[in-house]
A and B are shown apart, each in its own frame.
Chain A
């Protein structure tokens, strides 16, 4: 049922109406949780910096298709918002009355079936729902502080995956991490701290590749050093043997083994299958719109993906402007969001928790800020949580600093721009 519906969606234009509506709305209206920052734990940031950043957030969304240079100007406009928007921008007062405690998710979803895709109609419900402090704090917190649910990747691995592999990974990871990253918690974008099966397979592949590569490197460099140091002899070398053996046969065997392993892994995560949960994502210059299908419902979130744990999920990814790339490093590989095409990738999360995703293809000056949150629910909580979070908008990147000062070379660039203007070349 779900598959048929999603498969019937024509590529590219299917999701366009939704972000378009959002673009038209006033900045204050769909601020969602991003506006409501006092509860957000932003570790290591001073208050002033934090305010600057959150002030940037709505400006972004006010003009999603604007050139990124405009976002600074938009900020000022936002400050002039009329006061009637105030309740929407400070929803926590309402949130306590209308929050998730007050209205069970089961009651919410039937109301929505007949208003499918009607963003405007939802807004007040959404604002109320998002008033839930804990959930909001959790979603905003990741990327700045390790989320409490998240532990070291090794600890989350189920014991059934083989203690030998786990030990190997743990030992090597420990070595690297103690050497370079004094982190107690898992780095939120690390491929070496898998939180899903695909990422775990790939991380294991990496450790195997590292070991094989290290051996080969030592062998080659060792042979070269030995060649320099050995006392010369005039015995001819068996040319065919060394070229055929060391040059062709042995590398071929190693490569064949690696290729075989890679094909098996790739087919598991890229091949066509029927998965129960599908999430459609549309990227744009300012972030990601996720559409979750649950029964006949379409549930939208912005810069937030909600998936159940312990299940393979198929993501359908496209873009409405330039090329982006959808990537949740702790779950597995990435896939490009290309306008006019819909790409698929299948991922799997092992445990409930909060993860971080990141755009991986350069998409313009906003590229560094194009992050999104992935909320992994328990297998049974998915529907209710999704219903609670419907319409939620997370700031694309609350963790990243937005520069207040002009860059060091700004005067030079401004002078050059004036010169070009005078020459009529811009």
Chain B
């Protein structure tokens, strides 16, 4: 298998290269390309958000300022928050993760390259909707938190709120795609021998981030859908006059909104952990402690959302529980800080430019954490909630906990990405401008808040004591702006004109430094087998050996794009066959864009067309996978014969389906929570008497769904024994089609859902179930077509096996919805 490095490179580059011309450009799916594009677009949105932030500070620089009026200011602060959260922070994390994850795991690409490309286009299209609205002066103007009833139709009659709901939901599609991608990639696509506890810490951080995104985003998406339905169709989920409850929106929003903070922080903390070990020149101290702390923090972060709602009049006892939980989060954070300082203490740290940023991070983030403890205490929270104190706190946490580590990471990995060294100089100057400007802006802002200045006021009177602190904050903001410009210029200069980096420029232990500088699309000419957590410190000659093809799956002798699939404990298990450039992702995202834009424009006939187009695009995309003949085993290394993923029962696609089940379960839980919340806690509930359809209807729907699940299972059983699955799958499609029809009839049987929240939730439940059953119908039809097309055999049975599991899952979802539908309401 050993060849010259150059020959291997030529062989791989021919197979892994992007296609020619604009089709190749639009169809690029390689993780390096998609990751870079994500980061670039996110950086552009950061500039937009930054300019909006400066507009805010310009307006607040003095009392009675003329610069913006109230409606314009409302758009500016709403879009500042929205852009920074949804269009900068999350996509930047996504881009960074997509770019680096296969590199640190010793793989050639992600598990589903086209899925991440699809996510990228969803992000771009959704972001463009919001950006266009901003330029057209109809941007969202009810705050990035979109509280109802202010964001409901009577108080926001314009298109502004719809732009937010639809644009952000479109962008969140990419977040969900990303989450499934990363969860599966970390579990399946690693180097041989890399058991989970031997992964680099950064992979742990990124994996837990993605796992949190699986559960974190669905409540927001569900809330957005319900609110858009209320705005467009008049179903009153949040209208207190018709049995709805504005607090339901707050619960759904913050169930997402609080984990979101940790979703943003974790990747940044992963960068810190990685960089500190690299610059201290020793392994991180307390690897196990950190992993444990992360898992604890991930779970805790889902139990804190109510601390954004301390002033909403909930009982003091429940507030106290959430307050205590909020304080508990300090402990895992403290464990990580102890680990970082202990590693510096025990190592021989070098004060490089990234280390300056790490120190900036430490100061700012610890300060933000301490003010976080303050606002977690109920009496103090009630005083400073919705004042500039909270503005200061959240910027300390997010800028300190995200922007500084990301800049540190950019400088750290710049030599790898560009092949050029990053030197101090302008970078250090930029750091000090950023650090001082930031603290000038936001340290003083704590005082502004304590002096009583509420958030989101577009102007204020003189004589309230706010003039000087605000002026100082505004000056600091512009210093910070200059600092960002300096850093940007520095990064661009070094990217293009920095001195070439030798391979030994950075002594880091993780596998990404085994790649050639300016990594090729295939990353590694042959894949490593690792034994410890610091492979490059264990074996400094590893990069050369891999380049010479002394690892697994050297070169591309079969002309296919291959990477290694492993089990949880790092055993080589299968060979993943990856797809090449494809227009399917951008076409599917475009069709989805038609779907969303037509809702925004109120052209509902086009909405149906967009939905059909999306299904067709995804169908064609899926059709390209798999093989019509049983593929031969692949010799990954001498004597190591592995099955290709298309003929392996534990192919990543199966894990992806289970990832979707987690997402979907959260959707279901959000809807069930909303339904029960309205039924139990709404003060003026009093629903109109509704004659539900007879229980026989429920029985008929469930029987049809059960029949579909049993038939799909029968198909799987037959395939495993070498028989034909087409017949039972057709039966499953017909049965689930019948169940779908029953659910649609159920939906239409609810009288006047616009009169009260109770019939509105019934419509939502029936609609949710019908949507699931309809998708299951399409999945069964697809599997039937695949079976007839010769894509299915006893070895190639992933399509049928997935369909069977999907049918059972759909039965579960439909049963839950039916139960809630018929549950007696007091």
Q: Which residue of A lies closest to B370 (CB)?
A: A213
Chain A residue at smallest Cβ distance from B314: A343
**Does B749 sit at the interface, judged by CB under 8 A?**
no
Is B150 an interface position by the 8 A CB rule? Answer: yes
Partner of B461, one of A265, A365, A401: A401
A144-B463, A333-B385 given. 13 additional CB < 8 A pairs?
A199-B383, A206-B374, A213-B367, A221-B366, A227-B349, A247-B338, A263-B320, A332-B382, A332-B383, A334-B382, A335-B313, A363-B150, A401-B63
> A71 CA to B821 CA in the complex, in Å?
46
Asked if A209 and B72 make an inter-chain contact with CB atoms under 8 angstroms apart, the answer reads no
Q: A359 at the A/B interface (Cβ < 8 Å)?
A: yes
Which of B367, B386, B469 gathers most chain A CB within 10 Å?
A: B386
> Please, which residues of chain A bring their CB within 8 A of the CB of B571?
none
Task: From known contacts A220-B362, A228-B351, A360-B387, infer whether A343 and B454 are also in contact, taking CB-CB under 8 Å.
Answer: no
Cβ B246 vs Cβ A255 within 8 A = no
Q: Which of A176, A227, A325, A420 is in CB contact (< 8 Å) with B311?
A: A325
Contact with B along A397-426 (1 / 0, CB 8 A): 101110101111110110011011000011
Tell me which of B63, B331, B451 contacts A248 (CB under 8 A): B331
Interface residue? A181 (CB, 8 A): yes
A223 touches B341 (CB 8 A): yes
Question: Closest B-chain residue to A406, C-beta based?
Answer: B69
A267 CB within 8 Å of chain B = yes
Rounded to whole angstroms, the CA-CA distance of A60 and B601 in the bound complex is: 33
**Contact between B66 and A338, CB atoms less than 8 A apart:** no
Residue of B245, B348, B377 with most partner-chain A CB within 10 A? B377
Asked whether, in the complex, the Cβ of A191 is within 8 Å of the Cβ of B339, the reply is no
Chain A CB within 8 A of B682 CB: yes
Interface size class of B (residues with CB under 8 A): 35 or more
Q: Which among A161-169, A236-244, A294-302 touches the partner chain?
A: A236-244
* B240 adjacent to A247 (CB under 8 Å): no
| Cβ contacts A to B, 21 pairs, < 8 Å | A206-B374, A206-B450, A221-B366, A224-B341, A224-B362, A237-B345, A239-B342, A242-B338, A243-B338, A255-B327, A255-B330, A262-B379, A333-B383, A333-B385, A335-B313, A336-B311, A339-B246, A358-B454, A360-B385, A406-B69, A420-B159
3 closest cross-chain pairs (CB), A and B:
A333-B382, A189-B452, A340-B240
Are the CB atoms of A270 and B316 closer together than 8 Å? yes
With A and B bound together, what is the CA distance between A226 and B601 in angstroms? 60
Residues on the A chain within 8 Å of B367, using CB: 213, 217
Selected from A191, A202, A213, the residue in CB contact (under 8 A) with B371 is A213
Report A-chain residues with C-beta under 8 Å of the C-beta of B240: 12, 338-341
> What is the distance, in angstroms, from A335's C-beta to the closest C-beta of chain B?
6
Most A Cβ at <10 Å: residue of B137, B142, B382: B382
User: In the complex, how many residues of chain A place their beta carbon closer than 8 angstroms to a beta carbon of chain B?
Assistant: 113
Q: B633 on the interface (CB 8 Å rule)?
A: no
Known pairs A216-B366, A255-B330, A334-B383; A340 contacts B683 (CB<8 A): yes
Contacts of A420 in B (CB 8 A): 136, 138, 159
Contact with A along B461-472 (1 / 0, CB 8 A): 111111011001
How near does chain B come to A6, taking the closest CB pair, in angstroms?
Answer: 16
- Give the residue among B157, B330, B338 with the most A Cβ atoms within 10 A: B338
Q: Let me know if A368 and B379 touch, CB within 8 A.
A: no
A322 contacts B383, C-beta separation under 8 Å = no
Q: How far is the CB of B338 from chain A (nearest CB, A)?
A: 4
User: How close is B674's CB to chain A, nearest CB, in angstroms?
Assistant: 16
| Contact status B150-A362, CB under 8 Å | yes
Residues of B within 8 A of A269 (CB): 379
Contact: A425 with B311, CB < 8 Å? no
Q: How far is the CB of A205 from chain B (nearest CB, A)?
A: 5
B308 to chain A, nearest CB (A): 12
Decide if A232 is an interface residue (CB 8 Å cutoff).
yes
Contact indicator A368/B458 (Cβ below 8 Å): yes
Instruction: Check if A213 sits within 8 Å of B374, measured CB to CB.
Output: yes
- Residues on the A chain within 8 Å of B313, using CB: 335-336, 338, 341-344
Verify B138–A322 contact, CB threshold 8 A: no
Chain A residue numbers with a CB within 8 Å of B813 are: none
Q: Which residue of A lies closest to B452 (CB)?
A: A189
B345 touches A227 (CB 8 A): yes
Interfacial chain A residues near B157, Cβ < 8 Å: 67
CA of A182 to CA of B72 in the docked complex: distance in angstroms? 32
- A247 near B311 with CB under 8 A, answer no
- Give the interface centre of B135, B150, B319, B466 by most chain A CB atoms within 10 Å: B150
Tell me which residues across on chain B come within 8 A of A199, comparing CB atoms.
383
Question: Does A69 reach chain B (CB closer than 8 Å)?
Answer: yes
Please name all residues of chain A whose beta carbon is closer than 8 Å to the beta carbon of B316 when the two chains form the complex. 266-267, 270-271
Which residue on chain A has the smallest CB distance to residue B64? A401
User: Is B680 interfacial (CB 8 A cutoff)?
Assistant: no
**Interface code B278-301, partner A: CB below 8 Å = 1, 0 otherwise?**
000000011001000100000000
A248 near B379 (CB under 8 angstroms)?
no
Partner of A247, one of B66, B155, B331: B331
Interface flag for B684 (CB, 8 Å): yes
The answer to whether B450 touches A252, judged by C-beta atoms less than 8 angstroms apart, is no
A400-B311 contact, Cβ under 8 Å, with A187-B465, A213-B371 = no
- The complex places the Cα of A243 from the Cα of B293 at a distance, in Å, of 11
In this assembly, does B68 line the interface, its C-beta being within 8 Å of a C-beta of chain A?
yes
- Indicate whether A68 sits within 8 Å of B447 (C-beta atoms), given known contacts A202-B379, A209-B373: no
Q: Is A329 an interface residue (CB 8 A)?
A: yes
Contact of A143 (CB < 8 Å), options: B349, B456, B463, B684: B463
Q: Which residue of B lies closest to A183 (CB)?
A: B465
With an 8 A cutoff between CB atoms, is B143 at the interface?
A: yes
B460 CB, min distance to chain A CBs, angstroms? 7
Contact assessment for A400 and B460 in the assembled complex, using a CB-CB cutoff below 8 Å: yes
Return chain A residues, CB-CB under 8 Å to B385. Answer: 333-334, 360
B137 with A227: CB separation less than 8 A: no
How near does chain A come to B445, taking the closest CB pair, in angstroms? 11
Inter-subunit contact A400/B383 (CB<8 Å): no
- Check B285–A202 contact: CB distance below 8 A: no
Interface hits, A218-235 → B, CB 8 Å? 220-221, 223-224, 226-228, 230, 232
Cα–Cα distance between A190 and B348 once the two chains are bound (Å): 48
Question: Across the interface, which residues of A come within 8 angstroms of B137, CB to CB?
Answer: 412-413, 416-417
- Cα A214 to Cα B278 in complex, Å, equals 30
Please state if B66 and A405 are interface contacts (CB–CB under 8 Å). Answer: yes
Cβ contact of B312, chosen from A220, A259, A327, A336, cutoff 8 A: A336
Tell me, in angstroms, the Cα distance from A325 to B384 when the chains sit together: 12
CB of A372, distance to nearest CB on chain B (Å) = 13
Query: Is B588 located at the chain interface by the 8 A CB criterion?
Result: no
Complex: chain A residue closest to B378, CB-CB: A266
Query: How many angstroms from the CA of A365 to the CA of B68 in the assembled complex?
Result: 12
A399 touches B155 (CB 8 A): no
Q: Shortest Cβ distance from B626 into chain A, in angstroms?
A: 44
Which residue of chain A is the closest to B154 with respect to CB atoms? A321
For the complex, is A366 an interface residue (Cβ under 8 Å from B)?
yes
Cβ-defined contact, B451 with A191, below 8 A: yes
Q: Are B460 and A266 in contact (CB under 8 A)?
A: no
B775: shortest Cβ distance to chain A, in Å? 31
Inter-chain contacts of B460 with A (CB < 8 A): 368, 400
Residues from chain A with Cβ under 8 Å of B149 in the complex = 321-323, 339
A125 contacts chain B at the CB level, 8 A cutoff: no
A288 to chain B, nearest CB (A): 15
For B243, the closest partner residue in chain A by CB is A340
CB pair B377–A237 under 8 Å, yes or no, is no
Within 8 A of A (CB), among B431-468: 444, 447, 450-466, 468
What is the distance, in angstroms, from B542's C-beta to the closest C-beta of chain A?
Answer: 26
| A266 contacts across to B, CB distance below 8 A | 316, 319-320, 378-379
Residue B347 interfacial (CB < 8 Å)? yes
CB of A145 closer than 8 Å to a CB of B = yes
B67 in contact (CB, < 8 A): yes
A146 to chain B: which residues have CB within 8 Å?
463
Q: Which residues of A contact B347 (CB under 8 A)?
A: 232
Chain A 151-189: CB-based contact to B (< 8 A → 1; otherwise 0): 000000000000000000000000010001111000111
CA distance A217 to B348 in the complex (A): 23
Give the residue of B147, B241, B285, B461 whose beta carbon is less than 8 angstroms from that of A361. B147
